[in-house]
Structure 1
Amino acid sequence: MKKFHFVMLLFFIVFLSAGITTFALAFGDEQAVTVGTERREFDKLYSAFDTLKESYFKEVDQDTLINGAINGMIDSLEDPYSDYMNQEEASSFHESISSSFEGIGAEIQEQDGYIIIVSPLKGSPAEKAGLKPNDKVLYVDGKSIQGMSSTEAVMLIRGEKGTEVKLVIQRPGITEPLDITIVRDTIPIETVYGEMLEDGIAKVQITAFSENTSKELITVLNDLQKQGMKGLVLDLRQNPGGLLDQAINISSLFVPKGEVLFKVQDREGNTQVMASKNEKNPDIPLVVVIDKGSASASEILAAAVSESADVPLVGENSFGKGTVQRAQDFSDGSNMKYTTDKWLTPNDNWIHEKGIKPDHEVSLPDYASLPFINPDEELKLSTASTQVKAAQQMLKALGYEVGREDGFFDENMEKVVIEFQKAEKLEPTGVLTGQSTLKLMEKLREKIQQNDTQIQKAVEILKEQVK
């Protein structure tokens, strides 16, 4: 297995506040667009505009018509990664470049007319509330968002710190929709977390690529080297990527100089090869961990180290986003993003909608996929629901003898809940609600972290390298 090298690098990412909607790559500067008025192909458009402006039964706002026309053109592309943003939305887009924002902390994307959760940020309200990749958001505060763009959905989901947003989601494998109430918070874009594990093995988790990621990453890596790091697990799970015009620099951190990082291909089939610029840095064995929430720039990085540096990948198949977007401003302050190219791995693979298959496929325990339980609901004797079933499975995973797992809250379940409440120094009511529910989910998260089979496999591989 080849090694990776540390270099200083700079990132550029754009987050949309509430769901941190992200794009794979951006090349070049944003530019204002001036549309000519003498082009014959626009005659039909001008005619429709004039007719509605003059003859519609109510007075219409011309900006609304123009915005609608642009939005309609982009919607006709049927591309979830292309979107038009009016002035308000574009303003939020630019504000979100800062090191923090107020929202729930989850990346979303539009897919087949629905808003899908790509990945919640680590430690965010979205993660704590139990949102998971591939959750389909049906309603926001009682309003259906089917057919909305990701930008429109973001405007509903985001909001001031301390306010609540109520989501109704459909989770794959679960028949009944789930009601989830999330308290918005300030989401600091702290994206790099490092720790020493055992036998000189360090773990660094990159949760997203924001404007400060490079500084955070280098600081963490330098600190870990001082602590005696001999091998590194790079955790890209649940990392939605980002808008990167410095993709070469970040991938060069791990790939030897001159090796191919990725390729960009336009609609004519012209291909541009991006090669590593690595320069004289220390060698340390590396293993990368990915999952279905690893998307966009995370996949560029994973594919680059895998195919050009023989770095093992561990975990689950990644998300599958293989297109390149450009963000472009209009002179009135509105904005659009649109797909310009597709990117290919060093071996010419297009991973779009397929993802990257790891060398070592390792799943987390089944209890890691249990659904969120709404703490506002009361689960008590004689109630029956999917929420009760989830609670039974959580308690079983924590070692309690629940007996049945069919979603019916019987007398034994009541006794088990009381036992759990006593163990956690909570009022022993036998009713699972509020703090009891939150504590149950907290204990389950701790168990998942302690039994992280994917990280354990990565460490096992590295131990063979650092003997």
Structure 2
Amino acid sequence: MNVKKSYLAVLVIVAMVLGSALTYVGTEVVGLGQSGEAENGGQSEISTDEEKKEIIEEFGDMNAFSKVMRAYSIIESNYVEDVKQKTMIEGAIRGMLDSLEDPHSVYMDKETVDQFNQSIESSFEGIGAEVSMSDGHVTIVSPIKGSPAEEAGLQPKDQILKVDGNSLEGLSLNEAVAKIRGEKGTEVELTIQRPGISDTIKVSVVRDNIPVETVYPEVKNENGKKTGVIQITSFSQKTAEEFNKALSDLEDKGIEGLVIDVRGNPGGLFTSVETILENFIPEDQPYVIFEEKNGEKVRYYSGTKEKKDYPITVLTNQGSASASEILAAAMKEAGYPVVGEKSYGKGTVQKTLGMGDGSQIKLTTFKWLTPDGKWINEKGIKPTVEVKQPEFFYTTPVDINNSLTYNMNNESVANIQKMLEGIGYEPGRTDGYFSEQTVEAVEAFQKDHDLKVTGEVNQKTGEEIQTLVIEAVSSPENDRQLNRALEVLYQ
């Protein structure tokens, strides 16, 4: 291949990329995960010396890009196998984004963009979990309510190391997600590393259709008070509309207080949380501050004249991230109590910029600050009233290759002990030592559930214990956080 000809071809490609970049600079999109397209479809041509001069002024000396062009030319001319131009260019784009060391800034090819838009708009097939890249590992932000991921016991901060025995090391977030997703009814085995547990866990999840139903209202009668509870599982395109309708319906039923539950909510569209907050935050105080790269701060206000005439609390946990943290921070600093656990800690805003061919770059463009000007990134929002769930809520899925027996001492035993305690049996201890009292607790459980009474925990006994734990977790009476939030309302 003629090197000079190749070099000129690369010049044209780079020029088109730079021209597109100039177009994106002027694109204004406010929203978490909201798509922004350049006015001319994301492409422009560089046809005059003046435009080239503008590019140099905007991006620096072209010599800085000549190294990239030279590398492309060398690889294309000398590499032992044929090189696909598209693969090379997309690899360069991914490399630039990787150099930012920001897990939330990523390149998405057209297929990934379609999946991303589908998850925001309607439904998708998969395990039902929001993930991000943290310290080089695919990490669960939060499982979606009622999803296979939640039912399998996956938790925020879980790191997915392998999919069906194949390591995810070295893959981009989008590449990893493509392996985790799949058709409804198919099974995927995930190898999980959970914080605080030395051994990895293998979790089998059956993929399903994940509907993007995001608002779940109900009325509770507690201590003679009619209380509305609205759970928001994510902020998608229709969330604000659904929330406002649910709130109006609850008010028509005469609620005397309200709990807004954003536990396990991984975030979503800023426009949705913005509309919801306009119900509660008075017009004289901001509900969020966006900070641009130059340090300029933009404050957002609602048009609400006054607060509601009934008390409100907000529920959070470590799976509450991004847009749900905007809501929690705004409500907390407006004087509403926040109950539960410290939130995830994502204090940045992304916007998606079209590349002209259906692909997009999702790029961090703002920091968001609480109304008091605090940046919660990697810190989270500390609740006003801290409440942890019962210990068995945090147990791991049962995976027993060899039976757990008397005198053993390991994390698997500790896990089973916490489960037994949570469903009403008394193992005597939960530190991982399989004591005589733990044997008695296992025997009592096996007798009550028509299992062979051995005092040992094999896979069958372990799975039966886990089934009851899942039922116990779903029982409202065991939800300490919600029950405390209801108490706080009327104190």
- Common fold, TM-score beyond 0.5? yes
**How do 1:25-104 residues align onto structure 2 when only pairs under 5 Å count?**
25=32, 29-31=36-38, 32-34=41-43, 40=62, 41-104=64-127
Query: Unaligned 5+ residue runs, structure 1?
Result: 1-22
Amino acid at match of 2:254: G
1:219 is aligned to 245
- The answer as to 2:392 corresponding to 1:392 is no
Amino acid at match of 2:396: P
Aligned counterparts of 1:377 and 1:203: Cα–Cα separation in 2: 42
Q: What TM-score results when the alignment is normalised by the length of structure 2? A: 0.82
Amino acid at match of 1:125: P
**Match of residue 454, structure 1, among 468, 481, 487:** 481
CA contact 1:210–1:242 (8 Å) conserved in 2: yes
Amino acid at match of 2:470: E
2:342 is aligned to 317
**How do 1:147-166 residues align onto structure 2 when only pairs under 5 Å count?**
147-166=170-189
- Secondary structure of 1:54's counterpart equals helix
Aligned counterparts of 2:76 and 2:311: Cα–Cα separation in 1: 65
**Match of residue 385, structure 2, among 338, 355, 360:** 360
- Secondary structure of 1:336's counterpart equals strand
Give deviations 1:63-82, integer Å, cap 9, x for gaps. 11000000000000000110
Give deviations 1:362-418, integer Å, cap 9, x for gaps. 2222222222213x7564556875333312221122221334545566887566445
Amino acid at match of 2:478: N
- Secondary structure of 2:88's counterpart equals helix
Deviation at 1:456, TM superposition (A): 2.2
Higher relative contact order (CA 8 A, sep 6+): 1
Give deviations 1:215-259, integer Å, cap 9, x for gaps. 332332233223321100111111111132454322212212342
**Match of residue 420, structure 1, among 438, 445, 448:** 445
* Aligned sequence identity (%): 44
Amino acid at match of 2:361: M
Deviation at 1:422, TM superposition (A): 5.1
Deviation at 1:420, TM superposition (A): 2.8
2:274 is aligned to 248
**How do 1:268-287 residues align onto structure 2 when only pairs under 5 Å count?**
268-278=294-304, 283-287=309-313
1:328 is aligned to 353
2:23 is aligned to none
Aligned counterparts of 1:222 and 1:245: Cα–Cα separation in 2: 20
Aligned counterparts of 1:415 and 1:321: Cα–Cα separation in 2: 46
Aligned counterparts of 1:263 and 1:28: Cα–Cα separation in 2: 21
CA contact 1:248–1:277 (8 Å) conserved in 2: no
1:139 is aligned to 162
Deviation at 1:453, TM superposition (A): 2.2
Cα distance change, pair 43–174 in 1 and its aligned pair in 2 (3 A): same
CA contact 2:281–2:307 (8 Å) conserved in 1: no
2:363 is aligned to 338
User: What is the CA RMSD across the aligned residues, in angstroms?
Assistant: 2.7
- Secondary structure of 1:68's counterpart equals helix
Aligned counterparts of 2:205 and 2:411: Cα–Cα separation in 1: 20
- Secondary structure of 2:346's counterpart equals coil
Q: What TM-score results when the alignment is normalised by the length of structure 1? A: 0.86
- Larger helix share, 1 or 2: 2
**How do 1:14-33 residues align onto structure 2 when only pairs under 5 Å count?**
25=32, 29-31=36-38, 32-33=41-42
Deviation at 1:24, TM superposition (A): 6.8
- Secondary structure of 2:294's counterpart equals coil
Deviation at 1:267, TM superposition (A): 0.9
CA contact 2:237–2:269 (8 Å) conserved in 1: no
**Match of residue 371, structure 1, among 371, 375, 396:** 396
Give deviations 1:78-104, integer Å, cap 9, x for gaps. 001100112322232233233211111
- The answer as to 2:270 corresponding to 1:239 is no
**Match of residue 442, structure 1, among 445, 453, 470:** 470
Aligned counterparts of 1:110 and 1:165: Cα–Cα separation in 2: 20
Query: Unaligned 5+ residue runs, structure 2?
Result: 1-29, 47-51, 56-61
Cα distance change, pair 225–427 in 1 and its aligned pair in 2 (3 A): farther
Cα distance change, pair 282–392 in 1 and its aligned pair in 2 (3 A): closer
Q: Which moved more, 1:241-250 or 1:60-69?
A: 241-250
Aligned counterparts of 2:169 and 2:391: Cα–Cα separation in 1: 30
Give deviations 1:328-347, integer Å, cap 9, x for gaps. 12222211101111111111
Aligned counterparts of 1:36 and 1:390: Cα–Cα separation in 2: 62
CA contact 1:249–1:277 (8 Å) conserved in 2: no
The structure with more radius of gyration: 2
**Match of residue 433, structure 1, among 440, 459, 472:** 459
**How do 1:163-312 residues align onto structure 2 when only pairs under 5 Å count?**
163-197=186-220, 198=222, 199-278=225-304, 283-307=309-333, 309-312=334-337
Deviation at 1:49, TM superposition (A): 1.4
- Secondary structure of 1:458's counterpart equals helix
Cα distance change, pair 427–336 in 1 and its aligned pair in 2 (3 A): farther
Deviation at 1:457, TM superposition (A): 2.1
